[in-house]
Structure formats: structure tokens, C-alpha cells
Structure 1
Amino acid sequence: MDIFQVIVLALIQGLTEFLPISSSAHLILPSQILGWPDQGLSFDVAVNTGSLLAVVIYFRRELVSMAGAWTVSVVKRKSSAESTLAWWIILATIPAVFFGFTAKHFIENNLRSSAVIAVTTVVFGLLLWWADVAGKRQLTEYQTGWRKALMIGFAQALALIPGTSRSGATMTAALMLGLTREAAARFSFLMSVPVSLGAAILVGKDLLESPDAVDVHALWIGTLLSFVAAYACIHFFLKIISKMGMLPFVIYRLALGLFLCAFLFL
């Protein structure tokens, strides 16, 4: 990749990772539509690391509090709101881990296409709109409960399919289950930490076993830009989502899906 492609792909990753519009789809499309070279494993690790660092640093106080409370709940058997939320996050991570291990190769070999992305972009965009309109929007993330957490976890597993959007699927499920927009977003962002960390470890393992050369300069640029874009995205998304709602993202998903359909079939 040249430097322009590195910058564009890093910004795409950072801006789309936490918006309900699918970062994986946007990273696949440049190679399929514009003919850009595949960014490769090393670049995937770099930009995902940047996004992971952004969410960890943004929610550092919550994560430290949850980790401490969870440790106390294990060692001293004393529960709190933070420890309970931590347990729900762990529970919600299990479906994605299970299906990630069992379906990873099938998805990579059969579902990474523009046609699949076009369909999932539209279908899950409509589901997001319905959830935003029909959801009661009454619960905070601390009122989720283990059943709702597990259901949101299964929605996260669906996001293994390109075009679905991890944040989009989890926010859709959370809204359907009665969480407020802000609570749905916060729960989704917190859920991303263990999943993104696990994915980075797995892809990093594949990278170590890969014979491909590594462009260190491109990796540093990708990591930095992805971090900055993701941090800004999280901050502004949480500031405006309660007033703006999900409709702008639904419209964007429908427009993107229709564009892909036209590109593929016309």
C-alpha cells in the first residue's frame, strides 16, 4: 500500500469500528471496488490495536473500577454494581468467542464478498431502525441482567458476518431489550474490549506465523491514526446519540447497500 491508502484505511477503521455501520465491510470494500491491494494481517493488527487502545483509554476509569470490583467478587464473594456489570460483559463475550473459533474459516472463505455485505448492510440497518423506534429505552447498562447480556452477546456473534457491524448488532439488540441509546452504546463499547483483545491476539498469532514482509512505518501510522479517529468517534457519538438517534446511520447503511447492489448488478 502507498501512504494515501494507509491513511484512508486507518481512518476508516478508527471511524467505523464503533459506529453501527461495520468497519470490516468498509475495510473489505476498497480492495473489491477500487482494486486496492489487500492490507494484510499486519495492518489489520495495527489498526485494530489503535481502536482497542482508544476504547480502553476512554473508558479507563470504568474498566479499572470493574476489574477491581470483579476481583473482589471472586476473592471475597462481595458483589457490587460494577462487578455485576463485569460478569455480564464476560458472559456476553462467550458467544462471539465460541462462534469465532468454530466459524472463522467458513466466514473468511465464503462470506467476505460485496454481495454479502450489500445484503447485511441493508437488513441489519432496517433492524437498527426498528429497534431504535420500537425500543422502550428505559434501562441503563447496570440494569441489563444476565439474560439480556447473553442475548446481546449472541447479537455480537452475528457480527462475524461482514457488513453486520459489531457495534450495530449489539446496539440493535440492546435497544430491542429496553436499554437507552447511551446505555446501549456504552455496553457495546465495553463489550468490544475483550473481543477486540482476543481478536488481536489471534490475528497476531497468525501474523507471527506468516512469511509476509512487514512495513513498520505503515503500521505505526495506521495505529496512530486509528487510535485518534476511534477516540474522537467514541467521544462525539456518546455526546450526540441520545438526541440524534440511529436514523442517520440507518440512512447511510441503506444508501451504501443500494450502491453496492447497483455496483454488483448494473
Structure 2
Amino acid sequence: MDFLRAVVLGVIQGLTEFLPISSSAHLAIFPKFFGWDDPGAAYTAVIQIGTEVAVVLYFWQDIWTIGSGWVRGLFSRVAREEREWRMGWFVIVGSLPIVLVGLALESLIEREFRNLWVIGTMLVVMGVVLGIADRVGRKSSPIDDLTWPHAVLFGVAQAAAVVPGVSRSGATISMGLFLGYEREAATRYAFLLAIPAVVGAGVYKLKDIPGGENAYGTLPTIVGTVVSFAVGLAVIHWLLRYVSNHSFMPFVVYRIALGTLVLVLVGAGVIGATTTVG
């Protein structure tokens, strides 16, 4: 894999990780459009570390506040009455479902789930779900109203994102809207909830990245990761401002259009449904 491809895939990852349109779907679809090999689940997981580093940098104050409050709560009964203690546990508990599902379905994630029939269908289905959630959700509760049952439901929604096309942010944001949270609150919590899961998956998959001579080797992976970080940082800033005053409908339309296009092209034999990892 040459460095131009690494840059392109890094840009795609950075643009799509935080938008509710599924970065893993785009990393499987667009190489097909360009006539490239599928970068594979391992490459996809690793370059997502770049975008999560962008999340950590952007939300470092929130992360520090929650993390330090959670640590204080381990030693202080008073600290266990504070919001930060509960939020720390909410993030931990909410991260468990995707870890368990990811480990249980690892072989399916790497092969069967990367079929474009599956990806196109999930883009359409979850696009409809996001549209309904954005339309019917009360969008009135701040993230401080988060409860244990809701934290678990957020985590279950995130776990569905092991299937490319679902979208980690799209699933968790949809759940947040259904539960009545504000658009920005649901989006910010989706970002925080993704950090343990995405970084963990990326580190776990580092062992599957081949040597530098391979088409998807070490150096192109580093390039893709760095590019995804830079682009992702800009996207976070833009998205949080956007969702404060706008609906998710443009993303709904885009998901349904892209998913439909993929299904039509696969059905017509223009592109193959299965992927080939280079």
C-alpha cells in the first residue's frame, strides 16, 4: 500500500469516525470504488487510535475531571457522592458490552461482517433509526441526568457498532436521543464512551499489522493514523458546534443514499460484495 492510499484512508477515517455515518463502512467501501484492496479490520482498528487521540486532546479537561474524581472516589466516601465518580463508572460499565461482543464475534467482524451486502444494509437501516430518534426524541436532558440503566443502554448501542455500517457514534447518539438527551449531550458522551473501546481495540489489533514491506504494513499504518488524528480533531470541533443548532437529518439522507448505492452496485455486479485484504 503506497503512502497516497494511506493518506486517503486517513482522511476518510478522520472525516467519518465522529460523524454518525460509520468510519469502518467507509474504509471498506471506498477502497472498492478506487479499485484498492480492503485494508482489513486490523488496519481499520489501528488507525482509529489516531482519531481517539484527537478525542483525548479535545476533551482532556473532561477526561481529567472524570478520571481524577473516579480515583478520589476509590479512597474517599465524600468523593463517591460527586458526579465525577458516577460518570467514571458510567464510562467503564458502558464500555463493557462492546468489549465482550467484540471478543465473542472477532472472526465474524474480520470476515463475514465486512461483506458489502451487510454494510450497505446497515447504512440504510441505522440511517432510518437515527432519523426516527432525531425526530421523536425529547432532546431535553443534559448528560448530568445520566443513570445506571441509561449507561448500560448506551453501552449496548455502542456494541452494535462491531458491524460495519452501524456507526459507533450513530448508534450511541440514536440511543441518547431516544432516551431524551440533548443532541450535544448525546454526542459528547458518545465521544467519551468510545475512548476505552476504540483505543483498546486498536492496541489489541496492533499484533495483526504486518511488516513494512506488506501492502498494509507498519509505515502506511502510521501515516494513516497521523492523518486521521489531524482531520478528526477538526471534525470534532465542527460537529459539536453543528449539533447544537441543527438536526442529524443530512447524515440520515447521506447514509441512506450511500447504502442504497452500495447495494445497487453490488446487486448489479459492478463491485464485489466480498472484500480482499491486501
TM-score range for the pair, normalised by the shorter chain length:
over 0.9
- Structure 1 residue 74: deviation in Å? 1.4
Taking a change above 3 Å as real, the CA distance of residues 255 and 45 of structure 1, as seen in their structure-2 partners, is: closer
Q: Distance in 1 between the 2:115 and 2:67 partners?
A: 39
For 2:99, which of 97, 100, 108 is the aligned residue?
A: 97
- Give the SS at the match of 2:74: helix
Q: Distance in 2 between matches of 1:12 and 1:204?
A: 20
**Among candidates 205, 221, 244, match of residue 242 of structure 1:** 244
What is the rounded CA distance, in whole Å, between the counterparts of 1:41 and 1:162 in structure 2? Answer: 10
Q: Number of residue pairs matched?
A: 264
The 1:225/1:211 distance shift into structure 2, 3 A limit, reads closer
CA deviations on 1:153-206 (whole Å, 9 max, x unpaired) are 001111101100000000000110011000000000000110012101210133
Answer whether contact 1:32 1:114 (CA < 8 A) is retained. no
- Cα deviation, 1:115-138, whole Å, max 9, x if unaligned, reads 101110000000000001100111
> Following TM superposition, by how much is the alpha carbon of 1:32 offset from its aligned partner in structure 2, in angstroms?
3.2
Report the Cα offset of residue 42 of structure 1. Answer: 7.0
User: How far did 1:46 drift?
Assistant: 4.9
TM-score (norm 2): 0.90
Match of 2:138 in 1: 136
> Any conservation in 2 of the 1:152–1:170 contact (CA below 8 Å)?
yes
Find the partner of 2:206 among 181, 204, 207: 204
Matched, 1:12 2:22: no
**Partner residue, 1:231:** 233
Identity %: 37
> Relative to structure 1, is the Cα distance of residues 103 and 41 closer, same or farther in structure 2, using a 3 angstrom cutoff?
closer
State the alpha-carbon separation in 2 of the partners of residues 212 and 135 from structure 1: 48
Q: Is the 8 A contact 1:50 1:227 kept in 2?
A: yes
The Cα shift of 1:2 comes to: 2.4
1:92-122 CA-to-partner distances (Å, cap 9, x unmatched) read 1111111111111123221211110111000
For structure 1, which runs of at least 5 residues remain unmatched after alignment? Answer: none
**What letter matches 1:109 in structure 2?**
R
What is the alpha-carbon distance in structure 2 between the residues aligned to residue 95 and residue 40 of structure 1?
Answer: 23
3-state SS in 1 of match to 2:134? helix
Q: Deviations over 1:20-56 (max 9, x none)?
A: 0000000011333432023357744552221111000
Change (3 A) 1:219 1:212: closer
2:275 match: none
Displacement of 1:7: 1.4
C-alpha separation between the residues in 1 aligned to 2:112 and 2:40? Answer: 18
C-alpha RMSD of matched pairs (Å): 1.7
Does the 8 A contact of 2:69 with 2:84 survive in 1?
yes
